[in-house]
Amino acid sequence: MKKDIEDKNDIVLLVNSFYNAVQENEILGFIFNDVAKINWDEHLPRMYAFWTSMFLNEHHFSGNPMEKHITLSRITSMTEIQFNEWLLLFTTTVDKLFKGEIANEAKFRAGNIARLMLLKIQSV
Ligand code: HEM
């Protein structure tokens, strides 16, 4: 029986599972590994902080996601194709692991942010 997203451990599980899937994904994996060449040991904790600040009222995230993704869109294709794939992977990962109100909110908010990011990218 699946449970809802409740604490930091749940966020860590969600984020780790999501980025494992991202790294293996044909459309998204190379953007992280080859284009942005991100350091996973730094990126994952930033993402734990981002999602815990969203759901668990723990405000440890300070960053500028919009700016980072706009910069990224100048060096690699960041269109509906990439954002739809990102969102599909995110929702599939949430559904595989959790069920409940916060899990639904996570998918809803990720969708809103993804749409907003794409709009911003298209307008610069
Ligand atoms: C096409 C879809 C996406 C791709 C390819 C992508 C890729 C990336 C990459 C490569 C970074 C690291 C950038 C850096 O450190 O310079 C990053 C950071 C980040 N991404 Fe995404 N991303 C996507 C969509 C999203 C969405 C929809 C969200 C939110 C729901 C999100 C949240 C974040 C956050 C919070 C960071 C950290 C920003 C910071 O450190 O200031 N991303 N993303």
Q: What is the pLDDT of residues 43-56, one digit of tens each?
A: 999 999 999 988 87
Q: Is position 65 within any domain?
A: yes
Ligand 1 centroid to residue 98 C-alpha, Å: 22
Average pLDDT over residues 91-105: 97
Digit-coded pLDDT (tens) for 10-67: 999 999 999 999 999 999 999 999 999 999 999 999 999 999 988 877 777 888 999 9
Span 97-103, mean pLDDT?
97
Amino acid identity of 23? Q
Q: Which percentage of the chain shows pLDDT scores above 90?
A: 89
Distance 65 CA to ligand 1 centre (A): 6
Report if residue 51 sits inside a domain: yes
- Indicate the Cα dihedral angle 111, 109, 60, 6, nearest 10°: -120
Q: What is the pLDDT of residue 51?
A: 93
Q: Is residue 1 part of a domain?
A: no
**Rounded to 5 degrees, what angle do the CA atoms 82, 86, 89 make?**
135
Number of domains in the chain: 1
Look at ligand 1, atom 32, and give the residue with the nearest C-alpha. 65
